[in-house]
Structure 1
Amino acid sequence: MPKFSHLFLYGFLLFSCLVFSQKKTVKTKSTDNKITIDGKFDEPAWKDAEIATDFVMIEPDNGKPEPSERRTEVKIVYDNTAIYIAATLHDDEPQKILKEYTLRDDFATADHFGVLINGYNDGQQEFRFFVSAAGVQQDGVYTESNDEDFSWDAIWDSHVDVTNFGWRVEMKIPYAALRFPSEKKQTWGINFYREVRRLRQQFSWSMLDRKIANESTQAGILEGIENIETPTRLFIIPYASQYLYSSKFQKTVGEFKGGMDIKYGINDAFTLDAILIPDFGQTKFDNVELNLTAFEQQFSENRPFFTEGTDLFSKGSLLYTRRIGETPEINVADNETIIDQPGSIRLINALKVSGRTKSGLGIGVLNAVTENTSVIVKNNDTGETRLQNIAPLANYNVFVLDQRFRQNSSISLINTNVTRNGEFRDANVSALVWDLNTKKNTYNLSGNVKYSYVNNRTDEEDKKGVAAYLNLGETSGNYRYSIGGVYASTDFDNNDLGINFMTHYHGFYINSNYRTLNPNKIFNSFQAFLNTYTEFDNRTGRIQAGNLNLYFNAFDKLNDFYGFGIYSNPLDVSDFYEPRSTGEQRFVNIPRNVRTYFLYSTNYNRQFAIDFNPTITIFDEKGRRNYGFLFSPRYRFNDRFSLIYGFTFTRQNNNVGWIDFDDDDNTIFARRNRITYINTLQGKYSINNTMNFNLNVRHYWSYATNHEILTLMDDGSYVNNSSYTTNKNSNLNLWNLDLTYSWWFAPGSQVSVLYRNNSALFSREFSRQYENNINDALNSENLNHVFSISIRYFIDYNTVKNSRFYNSFTKPKTRERF
C-alpha cells in the first residue's frame, strides 16, 4: 500500500508538471467568407471559431486570473490573404473605458487590445499589433535585446466598437505584414494582450511571468493554418513635397522634392528597403543645448528610414546613424564667414536588406551614400571668396550576422565601414557580440570584443584600437545582480559611423536590485537599485571614476510614481578629457561630490497630472554646487485635446571647465556660473483616429559667465590667471515651433502639413534678462519660416495585380470574329 501511494504521488506530480509546463494552444480554421472589418462579428466564420480566453494579469498582480466581469474572448480565422482576429473585451463599467485619440503608435490614455505574433515560433522576435478603444493603431517589433520598437509600421486594418457590455475589436493582418516559413502546416507563436487603463492593469492570454525577462519565449501556440503562400511583398511609396522658405531678410523661395521608397520581400524571411532621393525635411527638430563639455552632443534619430526595423543593426552599439548625412565641423579663419552653410550633407540614396533564416541566422546589410559637398567661404577683410570642400562623396556600410539559438541566446558578428572619396580618412570597425542565457532565463553572460582601424590617408599614422565588455548576471526573481568589466585602448575609434566619448580606460562594476513581483499593502510595484563603478586610466593608473549609487522607484496604490536616488562620488578623480589636450596626458582634478534627486509623477489617467523633479549636487569645494528642477503640468480637456507644459531650471555655481589655450599653449580654465531655462509646450488635437494636429514649442536659453580665469597645472590643480582677458562668456538662445497636421487618408498613405519657425543666436555679449532674450529669439533676423506639404501614397503590388485595371492589360485578349 505505501508503495502504491508513492507511485500514485509521483505519477500525480509528473502529470502536474507536464500539464502546467505545456503552452496554451488555440486552433484556427480557414474561411471562404468575405470578412468585413466593422467590429460586428456577423460573418458565419466567427460562429464556430475556437475561443481563447482565461487571461492572466501581467501587472501589477502578476499571475492573477482575469475577473469574469472583465473577461476577454478572442477568435481567429484565416483565408488566403490574411488572418482575422475578433476580440470581445467585457467590462462591467463600459462608461469608464478610456479612449483618448492620438497619433499612431502613441498609446496615450486609452484601453488597448493587442495580438503578438511569431511566425517562426522560435521565441526570438514578435510582430505586435495593438489598437486602442479609440481605434488608434500601434504596431512594433519585439526582441528580448531591444524590447519593443514602434518605429516599424505595417499595413493592416482594424475597427473598434464600444458597446453596453464593454468593447469589441476586429483586425485583419495581411500575411505581407508578417514573417513565416514556406511550409504546408504552420505553427506560430501567439499571445494576446489587454490593458484596462483606468485600473492600470495589463493582461495576457499566455502568462508573461515577470520573473523571466524574455516575453517571446512565453507565448502560446497557434495551430490550424495550412496551405497558405507567402505573398509577393512589393510596396512602392512615392512621395512629393513642396517647401516654402522665408526669413526677415530673405524673400520667400520655393523648393519641390520628389522621391520614392521601395520595400520588397526577397523571400519569406528577407526584406529590401530602399529610399531614392530621400526627403527628411519634416522630421522633428533637435533639442540643441549649449555644450560646454569635452564631448559632442548626441541627438536622437528622427529619420524614419534609420529608425524602422534597425534592431539587427544596433548589435554591439557600433551604429550612430546621425553620422550619415551629418555636417562636419567647418574650420575657417577668424576673419572668414561661411556663406549658406548646409544643415546636413545630402543623402543620395540608402538601402537595407535584413531578415532571418529558419535556422535562426539573421543577416543585415545597411548601405548609404552621401554627396560631395562644398561651401563658399568669404574673407571679411578683402571680400574675396573661396570654395572649401567640407565632405567628400562617402559610402557608409553596416554588415551583421546574428545567430540565435535555444530561443533566448545569440552570437553576432558586426562590421561597419566608411569609405570616403579622395584624400579623406576611411574607417573600419568589427565586433564579436554574445548574449547567452540559461535555458530557464535565470542567468546571463553577455559581452563583446571590438576592433577599430582608421586609415587617415595623411601623414598621420593609421590608428588601431580595441574595446571589450563582459557581464555576468542573474536575470530572474525578486533579487537580481550583475558584475562586469569594460576596457578601451587609447586608439579605439568608432566615431566615423558610431559614437564613442571615452578611450584609454578600464573599469569594473557591481549592480544589484530588488523588485516586488506582486503588490503589497503600500505599493503596486517597488524597485530598489544599488550599484558601484570604478574606472582607471590605462596610461597612468589614475582613478577616472568611483561612484556608489542607490535609488528607488515605486508606484503607490493610486498609481502615482515616486523616484528617489543618491549618486555619490566619494573619491577625488582625474578627468583626462576636459583639458582637450590631444596626445598629452593632461588631466584636471574633480572633487568628490554627491547628487540626489526626487521624482514625483501623478497618474496620467487623471485629466490634470504633474511631473516634478528637483535635483541638487554638492561638491567638496567651497561654493561649488548644482541645483535645479523640472515642473511639467498636463491637462487633458477631453479625448481629443490635451496640452503639456514643461519648465526646467538649472544652475551651476562655481562650475570649473576649459575655455581656451593661450599663446603659450597653456590650458585655460574658468570658474563660472551657468544658468539654463527651458520652456516647452506640446499640444494635440485629434479630429479622429486618422487626423491630428500637433504643436511642439521649445524656447531654450542658457548662459555661462566666467568670473575667475585659471591656468591648469600638471598635477591637475589650477591657479589664478590675471593675464588672459579674452571674453569667453557664452549665451545660447534657441526658439523652435512646429505646427503639424497629418491625415492617414488610406492604409500607409499620408498627407502631412508643417509650419515651422526657428532661430538660433549665440553671443559673448548679452543681456541676462529673460524677457530680452525671448524677444531676441522671436524678432531675430535669423528667425526662419518654413511651410511644407508632403504626400506619400502606398502602393501594394498584390492589390494592383488583382485590380480590374491591371487585369485588363495583362489578360490575353481573344481574337475578334469577322
Structure 2
Amino acid sequence: MTLRSAILFILLSNNILFGQDNTSLKEKKKLNTILSNENISIDGELNEAIWQKTEAATSFIMFEPDNGKPIAENKKSDVKIIYDNEAIYIGAMLYDDEPNKIMKEITQRDDDGSSDFFGVSLNGYNDGQQEFRFYVTAAGVQLDCNSNSQTGEDFSWDAIWESKTKITDKGWIVEMKIPYSALRFSKENIQIWGINFLRQIRRDRQLYTWTHIDNKKGTFEQQAGELYGIENIKTPTRLFFFPYASVYVSNDKKNGTKTELKGGLDIKYGINDAFTLDAILVPDFGQTALDNQILNLGPFEQQFNENRPFFTEGTDLFNKGDLFYSRRIGGKPSLRRGRLNQEKETNETIYEYPTKVNLLNALKISGRTKGGLGIGFLNAITEKTEATLLDTLSQTKRKVIIEPIANFSILTLDQRFNKNSSVSLVNTNVTRNGHFKDANVTALVWDLNTTKNTFNLSGDFKYSNVNEYKKLEDRKGYNTSLNFAETSGKIRFNVGAKYVSKKYDNNDLGINFQTNYSSIFGNINYRMLKPSENLNAFRLNGNVYTEYENITGKLQSFNLNTNYHFTTKKNNGFGVGFNSKPVNTYDFYSPGREERYVTIPKNYGIWAYYSSNYNKKLAIDINPYYTEYFEGNRMEYGISFGPRYRLNNKISFRLNYDFNKQNSDRGQVDYQGDDIIYAQRDVNSSTLGLSTKYALNNKMTINVNARYYWSYVQNDKFFSLQPNGELSDTNYTNSLNQDFNTWNIDCAYSWWIAPGSQLNMLYRNTSANGLSEIQYINKNVSHNFNSLFGDKLQHTFSISLRYFLDYNRVKNWI
C-alpha cells in the first residue's frame, strides 16, 4: 500500500465509522462584536462609550467541580468584545459580593498562583481543535498558552498583548487588548471565530465557562461558542524585531575571571494572517535554567527538559508523532569521548573535549490554511566542533572534528477535519558534513474521533533510515502503534498495541530508549462527573501492560496496577496505588551486549500521596512509596516531601525534599572479556530544593532557586551474568563504588519593562563533585555538602536586555 493510499484509506474509514452529523451537535452560543472607531485605553476602567453599545456574554456555567451548575447571581460575569484593524479588545465585569476575599497572589508570568483569574479562548479557524488562550489574574499577572485536544495546554508559548485589572466594591474588572499578531486565522472578509471565556473563583476552587463544557465528552475545544461581527479588517504588517544585548562575568579558580559580551537579533514575520516565520540569528541561551543532573546508573541516557524559548514556543506541530527532541540540536558531539579514545595515537591524550555543540542559527515557519492544513517547518544549523589531542612526547597538539557542520530539519503536514480529527505526515532529517552519520525518519500519524467525541482511534507508522560511515548498508527500521478508546461517560477504556523493530532509530533528532519489542496494553477507569456529599472529585484506574522481545518472545514487562484519586470538599487531594509484576521478566538493555539479558524477579509495590489545599498559607505535598522484590532482601522505598508557605501576596517559599533508597539492587557495572559483571549494591539518593519568590509588583519579580543533590552507590557483592539470564558468583575484586554531589543556586531579577521587552539579571553559582571506583564513601552530609565549595565553585553574573520593536511603529519613527 502506498503512502497516498494509506492516507485515503484512513480518511474514508473516518467518514464511514466516525462520520460527521451536524444535526447531532447542540446549538452553539453566539456573541456579536462591533467595530470601534475610538481609541481604547487599556486602564481597567471600561469608560469608553463604545463599551455600552456592545452585546455582553453572560450566564456562565460551572465546569468544575459541579459541572453544569449556573453561576450564582452575586458572582455573575458580563464580558464584551470590540475590535479594530489592529486588535480585538475584551472587557469583563466580574461581580463578587465579597471583593475583599478575591485572591490575588502576585507571581511571575504564566503562573496563576493562588489567584482568581479570567481568560478568553480564541480559535480563528473555528475548527474545534486548537485555541489560543489568554488569562489575567486579579493581581494583573498574564498567562498565555495554545491548547489542542490532543496535547492540552502549552504555556511555553508566549504572545505580546496588553491587560489591566482593577478591583472595585462590586468585584473586579479586566480589560485586554489582543493584537491580531498574537492570533492565527484565514484571510476572509467575514470572520467567524470559536470563542469561550473562563473565570476561576479561587477561594472556592470553582472554574466557570461561558459556554457549557460537558465533562461527559472528551474535548474542551469543540464545545466553544462562536464570535460574529469581525468584518473587512485590514491587519497591519506583522514584522517584529527583538534585538538583545548581554554581558556575562564568570569566575572560577581554574580559569580566573572572564567577561563576555553578546548581542543579536531575533525576527518574527507574519507571512500572512495564518503563517508566521520565526528566526533566531545569533543565539544566546546563557540565562536558561540549568539541567537537574543525577547519577545515572541505568542503560539509557538522561532526558532533559527544553529550556530555550525558541524550541518551546509554538512547537505543537513539530511534536506530532513524538519524533522531535529539541535537545539534540546543540547537544553532545557525534564522536563521543570513548570513540575518540579508540582513534587517538598511542602517545596522545585528550587535552580538550567540548561537551556541547553551538547553534549557529535557526528558523521555523508554521501556520494553518483555511482548509485546515497545518504546515510546520523548522531548520537549524550547528557549527563544526573540534577536540584537541596532545602528544605527550612531542607536546604538539592537533585538532580532531567531533561534530561537523550539521543541518537539522523537521517538516509537518497536519490535516484537520470533522472539527475533531487529524492525519499528519512528519519528516525529520539530520545531514552532517563529511563522513559523519546522516539520518531520516518519516511518520504517518492519525487521531480520529466520532462526531459526539465518544470514541477515538489513534495510531502511527514510523520509518527510520540511518546512514553511517564505514557500515556496509543503511540501518532501516519501523515503529507502529494502534489505540482504540472510549472517551466519554463515567466509565472509559482504551486498548492498544505497539511493534518496534530492532533497527528502528530516531535518536538523531528524537529520543527513543527501547527497540525490538511488541506490547499490548489496556486501561479502564471510572470517574465521578458530579460532586458527591463528601467529595468534589473521584477517579479509579486499572491498567495492564505486557511487552515481549521480538526475537526470543521473552517477556520484557508485565505490569498490573490500580490507583485511586479523590478530592475532598475542602479541596485536599489524596491518592493511593498498587503495582504488581507477578512473574519474572527479562531485561535486554542493561547488559549492553547483543542477545544478552538478565532476569528481573517478580515484585509488587504501593504508593500514596496527599496534597493539601494550596489556598491555605501553609500547604504540604507528601508522596511515600515502597517496592518489594522476590529476591533476598531486595527492595526500594522513598518519599517526596514538599511544604510551601505563602507569607503574603508578594512573598512565598517552597521546600522540596526527595529521598530514594535501593537496597540490594542488581546492576551491570563492568566487563571482563566476554564476562558481564553485575553488582549487588545499595543506592542512596537525596535532593533538597528551596525556591523563594518576592514580587515587587506584577512586572518585577525576584526568584531564588537552590538545589543540592547527593547520590552514592556501595557495591556489596559481584556476579557474572550467565547466558540464561541468571547471576552466578565471580572472583571480581574491583570496588567501583560511586559518590556524586552537585549544587546550584540561581538568583534572578526579572522586569517586564514593556510588552515583549524584558530586563533580566542573574547570579548563578554551581559545583559538582563526582568520585568513582572508590573504596570508602564518606556518608557525613555536612562533609559532602562542604566539599562542593571552595576550588570547585563557579560563579556567573549576567545582565540581558531584550527589546520588542514593532515595524509599524519603527517606520513612523524613521
Q: 1:204 to 1:680 in 2, by over 3 A?
A: same
Q: Tell me the amino acid that sits aligned with residue 208 of structure 2.
A: F
Counterpart-to-counterpart distance in 2, 1:346 and 1:19? 54
Q: Could you tell me which of 77, 84, 99 is aligned with 1:79?
A: 84
Q: CA deviation at 1:480?
A: 0.5
Q: CA deviation at 1:477?
A: 0.8
SS of equivalent residue, structure 1 residue 410: strand
Counterpart-to-counterpart distance in 2, 1:279 and 1:337? 32
SS of equivalent residue, structure 1 residue 362: strand
Counterpart-to-counterpart distance in 2, 1:127 and 1:390? 42
Counterpart-to-counterpart distance in 2, 1:490 and 1:343? 29
1:6 equivalent in structure 2: none
Q: CA deviation at 1:257?
A: 1.1
For residues 643-792 of structure 1, the aligned pairs below 5 Å read 643-662=653-672, 664-722=673-731, 724-764=732-772, 765=774, 766-779=777-790, 781-792=791-802
2:65 equivalent in structure 1: 60
Q: Tell me the amino acid that sits aligned with residue 553 of structure 1.
A: H
Counterpart-to-counterpart distance in 1, 2:390 and 2:539? 59
Counterpart-to-counterpart distance in 1, 2:266 and 2:429? 24
Q: Could you tell me which of 163, 166, 169 is aligned with 1:161?
A: 166
Q: 1:614 to 1:202 in 2, by over 3 A?
A: same
Q: 1:668 to 1:36 in 2, by over 3 A?
A: same
For residues 106-185 of structure 1, the aligned pairs below 5 Å read 106-185=111-190
Counterpart-to-counterpart distance in 2, 1:711 and 1:231? 71
- 1:758-810 superposed Cα distances (whole Å, 9 cap, x missing partner): 1111102342211111001123x221111111110101112223x3x33xxxx
Q: CA deviation at 1:495?
A: 0.5
Q: 1:443 to 1:381 in 2, by over 3 A?
A: farther
Q: CA deviation at 1:131?
A: 0.2
Q: CA deviation at 1:496?
A: 0.4
1:796 equivalent in structure 2: 806
CA contact (8 A) 2:354 2:386 kept: no
Q: CA deviation at 1:338?
A: 4.5
Q: 1:675 to 1:785 in 2, by over 3 A?
A: same
Q: 1:379 to 1:124 in 2, by over 3 A?
A: same
Q: Tell me the amino acid that sits aligned with residue 411 of structure 1.
A: V
Q: Tell me the amino acid that sits aligned with residue 457 of structure 1.
A: Y
Q: Could you tell me which of 250, 256, 261 is aligned with 2:255?
A: 250
SS of equivalent residue, structure 1 residue 316: helix
SS of equivalent residue, structure 2 residue 320: helix
Q: Could you tell me which of 570, 585, 588 is aligned with 2:595?
A: 585
2:221 equivalent in structure 1: 216
- 1:349-392 superposed Cα distances (whole Å, 9 cap, x missing partner): 00101110000001110100000001223467886544232211
Q: Could you tell me which of 437, 450, 455 is aligned with 1:443?
A: 455
Counterpart-to-counterpart distance in 2, 1:380 and 1:524? 71
CA contact (8 A) 1:777 1:783 kept: yes
1:523 equivalent in structure 2: 535
For residues 27-42 of structure 1, the aligned pairs below 5 Å read 27-42=32-47
2:404 equivalent in structure 1: 392
Q: 1:343 to 1:607 in 2, by over 3 A?
A: farther
Q: CA deviation at 1:720?
A: 1.2
Q: 1:327 to 1:90 in 2, by over 3 A?
A: same
Q: CA deviation at 1:459?
A: 3.1
2:19 equivalent in structure 1: none
Q: CA deviation at 1:230?
A: 2.9
1:303 equivalent in structure 2: 308
Counterpart-to-counterpart distance in 1, 2:259 and 2:805? 28
Q: CA deviation at 1:735?
A: 0.6
1:360 maps to 2:372: yes
1:601 maps to 2:606: no
CA contact (8 A) 1:182 1:230 kept: no
Q: CA deviation at 1:504?
A: 0.6
CA contact (8 A) 1:437 1:443 kept: yes
Q: CA deviation at 1:188?
A: 1.0
2:526 equivalent in structure 1: 514
Q: CA deviation at 1:181?
A: 2.0
Counterpart-to-counterpart distance in 2, 1:163 and 1:379? 76
SS of equivalent residue, structure 2 residue 100: helix
Counterpart-to-counterpart distance in 2, 1:339 and 1:266? 48
Counterpart-to-counterpart distance in 1, 2:472 and 2:555? 30
SS of equivalent residue, structure 1 residue 322: helix
Counterpart-to-counterpart distance in 1, 2:204 and 2:492? 28
Q: CA deviation at 1:342?
A: 3.2
1:542 equivalent in structure 2: 554
1:424 maps to 2:436: yes
For residues 167-206 of structure 1, the aligned pairs below 5 Å read 167-206=172-211
Counterpart-to-counterpart distance in 1, 2:229 and 2:653? 47
2:652 equivalent in structure 1: 642
SS of equivalent residue, structure 1 residue 313: helix
Alignment TM-score, normalising by the size of structure 1: 0.94
Alignment RMSD (CA, Å): 1.6
SS of equivalent residue, structure 2 residue 337: coil
Q: Tell me the amino acid that sits aligned with residue 25 of structure 1.
A: K
Structure 1 stretch displaced more, 17-26 or 399-408: 17-26
Counterpart-to-counterpart distance in 1, 2:670 and 2:745? 34
SS of equivalent residue, structure 2 residue 788: helix
Q: CA deviation at 1:327?
A: 1.6
Q: 1:376 to 1:186 in 2, by over 3 A?
A: same
- 1:464-497 superposed Cα distances (whole Å, 9 cap, x missing partner): 1011010001001111000110100000000000
Counterpart-to-counterpart distance in 1, 2:24 and 2:127? 21
Structure 1 stretch displaced more, 23-32 or 338-347: 338-347
Q: Tell me the amino acid that sits aligned with residue 736 of structure 2.
A: K
Structure 1 stretch displaced more, 105-114 or 223-232: 223-232
1:628 equivalent in structure 2: 638
1:11 equivalent in structure 2: none
Q: Tell me the amino acid that sits aligned with residue 763 of structure 2.
A: Y
Q: Could you tell me which of 477, 491, 496 is aligned with 1:479?
A: 491
Counterpart-to-counterpart distance in 1, 2:24 and 2:91? 28
Counterpart-to-counterpart distance in 1, 2:687 and 2:397? 39
CA contact (8 A) 2:30 2:227 kept: yes
Counterpart-to-counterpart distance in 2, 1:18 and 1:73? 30
SS of equivalent residue, structure 1 residue 305: helix
SS of equivalent residue, structure 2 residue 79: strand
1:330 maps to 2:337: yes
1:433 maps to 2:445: yes
1:21 maps to 2:33: no
Q: Tell me the amino acid that sits aligned with residue 760 of structure 1.
A: A
CA contact (8 A) 1:182 1:229 kept: no
2:239 equivalent in structure 1: 234
Q: Could you tell me which of 101, 104, 110 is aligned with 1:99?
A: 104
Structure 1 stretch displaced more, 360-369 or 381-390: 381-390
1:453 maps to 2:465: yes
Q: Tell me the amino acid that sits aligned with residue 672 of structure 1.
A: R
Counterpart-to-counterpart distance in 2, 1:558 and 1:342? 53
Q: CA deviation at 1:665?
A: 2.0
- 1:648-698 superposed Cα distances (whole Å, 9 cap, x missing partner): 111100000100111x22101100000011000011111011101011111
SS of equivalent residue, structure 1 residue 679: strand
Counterpart-to-counterpart distance in 2, 1:174 and 1:390? 46
CA contact (8 A) 1:131 1:137 kept: yes
CA contact (8 A) 2:124 2:186 kept: yes
1:562 equivalent in structure 2: 574
Counterpart-to-counterpart distance in 2, 1:485 and 1:364? 29
Alignment TM-score, normalising by the size of structure 2: 0.94
Counterpart-to-counterpart distance in 1, 2:352 and 2:249? 17
